[in-house]
Amino acid sequence: MKSLIMGNEAVACGALKAGLTFFAAYPITPASEIMHELAGREPEIAFVHAEDEIASIHMAIGASLAGRKAMTSTSGPGMSLKQEGIGLAHMMEVPLVVVNVQRVGPSTGMPTLPAQGDILQAAHGSHGDYVPIVLYPSSVEECYRYAIEAFNAAEESRSPVILLLDGYIAHLQETVDLDTVAFDLKSRTFAPLGRGRRHFTGLLARDGVPRTKDTAYYREWYARVKTKMLEAAAHYRFFDYLKNPASDTLIIAYGITYRVVSPLRGSFSLFKPVRMFPVLEDEIRAAAAEHDKIVVVEMNDGQYRGEVQKVLRREVLGVSLLGGTISLKEIQERLREL
């Protein structure tokens, strides 16, 4: 059935479809509608309006260990607080989904104009080395679809998967028929708490026994976890590539920025990464090889441009749209200036 819903609601619907039975969060604009949509559904799901962002992600970690599919949602200021839990979930290998609806930062910034400024935070926000999976939808239907895939990727990788939105996509209202979206569901790969004598810890540990001074084991452990993440991520290679044979320029954009540049497909080739991290290296290289100029259009100061440049090892141009507003006219003018 077709219905008119907003991106945040579609995330909640997708999460429920994926089997979410635990949700904890703290109110923050522009992410709160996810919370509103999931509130009042007890006992089908456990819902906690927690005392803060740190509590909500740690509650989700506990619930996941106890066997539930769990999620928390927030925006930039809350995402900064959740980094502690994201690191813990990577270390303990706990599946969960963390939604970050981006707004202009740093700090309280420009409440609550949309932004795409948390791209590198999604990859590196918690301390230490880890390899996260990050998905970024660019339509209401994709919010639904990739919320489901975020849960699948979380289960398959046993890690906290980040679903990035921006305030525009989160509040975008579109007519969609969610029933037509096809998907598979991944189920839990380890027993819930109470079934063994296991020890889950944020320390480096082998079979539950801390190995905090063992460099050789750290290297072995990290190699295993990195391989695990890359192998799981390989099943989630989501992107769109619209090639325009008449154009020598490839525009890379994601989220709302992709939607805004879409009308330019008559003049340029367009590439939209949905899996932001691990970066789709092969796909971006292949698309870039067919073009002279590569331009990343994004609502930040070149965060993903740097990632693309790292992959391509050649100059990548950028259009940075700072300060919370976006217009096709400005993008066209800035493209002409390049």
Partner 1 sequence: MNYKDYIKWERMPTTWCPGCAIGTIFKQTTFALAEMGLAAEDMTVVSGIGCSGRAAGYFNVDSVHVTHGRALPVAEGIKRANPKLKVIVFSGDGDLVGIGGNHLLHAARRDVDLAVICVNNGIYGMTGGQMAPTTPTGEKTLTSPHGTAYAPLNIQGIVTSNRRHWFARASTFHIVHLKKVIREAVEHPGFAFIEVMGFCIENYGRRLGFKSGHEMLAKLKSDYTLKAGPDGLLGDHELGVVKNDGQSG
Binding site for partner 1 (CB under 8 A): 21-22, 24, 46, 48, 50-52, 54-56, 58-68, 70, 84-85, 87-88, 92, 192-203, 208-210
Task: Tell me the C-alpha distance between 318 and 296, whole Å.
Answer: 5
Which residues sit opposite 277 in a β-bridge?
A: 134
- C-alpha 299/C-alpha 256 separation (Å) is 9
Where helices occur in 214-324 by DSSP H, the ranges are 215-233, 255-261, 281-289, 303-312
Give the shortest CB-94-to-partner 1 separation in angstroms. Answer: 10
Asked whether 119 and 164 are in contact (CB, 8 A), the reply is: yes
Residue 39 or 312: the one with the smaller Cβ distance to partner 1 is: 39
Nearer to partner 1, 195 or 313 (CB): 195
Nearer of residues 20 and 135 to partner 1, judged by Cβ: 20
Cβ distance to partner 1 smaller for residue 55 or 279? 55
Q: Between residues 190 and 241, which has the closer beta carbon with respect to partner 1? A: 190
Q: How far is the CB of 123 from partner 1 (least distance, A)?
A: 20
Q: Are 126 and 161 in contact (CB under 8 A)?
A: no
Residue with tokens 């990050």: 134
Q: Which residue has the tokens 């949602």?
A: 73
Minimum distance from residue 250 beta carbon to partner 1 (Å): 42
Q: Which residue has the tokens 């080739």?
A: 269
Rounded to the nearest 5°, which phi and psi values hold at 31? -110, -10
CB of 229 to partner 1, least distance (A): 21
Residues 172 and 6: beta-carbon distance below 8 Å: yes
- State how far the alpha carbon of 335 is from the alpha carbons of 24, 294, 331, in Å: 42, 11, 6
Minimum CB–partner distance for residue 207 and partner 1 (Å): 10
Residue 12 CB, shortest distance to partner 1, in Å, is 19
Nearer to partner 1, 208 or 263 (CB): 208
